[in-house]
Amino acid sequence: EASVVAIGRCAVVVVVLVCPLSWPILRQGRFSALCFDALHARPEKFSLPLHASSAQHLHRRHHRRLTSALARDSSPPPLPQGPLGRRCLLASQAVLGVGLAASLGDAGNAARAAALRGDGGGGGVGAAVVDGLQAVGPVDVAEFPIWESEADSGAVQQLIRDAGPEGAVLGTPAADWPGLWRVVYAPHIRTLGSLALSKFDVYYDIFSVTGGGLRVRSFVRFEGPAWAGWLSAAGRVREVEPPLEVPGFGPRPTSEIDFTDFWVDLDKSQPRTMPDEADDVLRRIAAPFFIKEISRFPTLLFDPRHGLTIFRFPPLGVEIAASRIGPSGSAVRPLNR
């Protein structure tokens, strides 16, 4: 791909530089003749005078021809005559088209990458947002990243707009989704925590299962003045069709989480990875309150290489950002007590 882009760029430069010099030749209708002579290597057409003043002679001769051709006719040049001439002209146009397409395509890809990382003309704002979100992800850095993240809604919205629809493609789920994801931006959870006098730390552990498909485990650490523990759930996650419409952004790829198991661990340092029989009563109580229709999340940005995703929570119209902090099964941050 890099070679094609380089060839394309060179072709654009060469054609742009050569075309103005080719106007006199085209006006004289000699395009096909020159191509024919060059292909058949007629020596008399390309031999140089072998005397001391050959350079001056060639310079004067070509200067006279160029000046005479420009003075005689300023109208658009005729098409080259003959089949060989037409083929040469079409070939030059094809080279120009391929060069422009390769250069523009490369520029578009670079622009999208720059928009995601903020490397373009925006002063690195996008890069600052991405780096800021990822900086509070590691479990040994932030206690409650939703509270410690300095990203604001305006910057997150701009990052999404700059990335465009191409930045939301969900890739290959089995290869790109698995891992331990930690929520690093969720304004509605922060508001809920202030009302409940608690702080929340949210994780999604996505992993493949035998026979295909993906499963997800959710761990929510909560800590308040007199209470602490884990709220956990498990189920499947998948991409669904049709994509949901996001106001201001259009249709975006949509994932669905279908939780079927629920359990709670109070005052425990780490959550259990799966429920047991004692949690069956809680599962039966919680299951009716899980509404599948509001568990579909349109993706606004998905960058598997850097491990960052931003999706919309439709019921409240807010964005949630999560950073991948390790492979599936990685340890979450323990309780502080």
Tens digits of residue pLDDT in 112-147: 444 454 444 334 568 889 999 999 999 999 999 999
The number of CA neighbours under 13 Å toward the Cβ of 5 is 10
Residue 108 to residues 114, 115, 163, 239, Cα–Cα distance (Å): 10, 10, 11, 27
Percentage of the chain lying above the pLDDT 70 cut: 63
- Over 80: is that where the pLDDT of 148 sits? yes
Q: Span 58-68, mean pLDDT?
A: 49
pLDDT for 81: 55
Query: What single-letter DSSP state applies at residue 320?
Result: E
Residue (of 206, 185, 179) closest to 311 by Cα position: 185
Q: What is the mean pLDDT of residues 20-30?
A: 39
Tell whether the model's pLDDT for residue 5 goes beyond 80: no
Report, as an integer, the average pLDDT of 251-265: 96
The average pLDDT across 210-214 equals 91
User: pLDDT digit string (tens) for 267-285?
Assistant: 999 999 999 999 999 989 8
Residues 171, 304: contact at Cβ < 8 Å? yes
Q: How confident is the model at residue 212 (pLDDT cuts 50, 70, 90)?
A: confident
Q: Of 117, 175, 182, whose CA–CA distance to 146 is shortest?
A: 182
Q: Give the model's pLDDT for residue 115.
A: 46
- For the stretch 156-211, pLDDT in tens is 999 999 999 999 999 999 999 999 999 999 999 999 999 999 999 999 999 999 88
Q: What percent of the chain has pLDDT over 90?
A: 56
Find the mean pLDDT for residues 47-71.
46
Average pLDDT of the residues in 315-321: 94
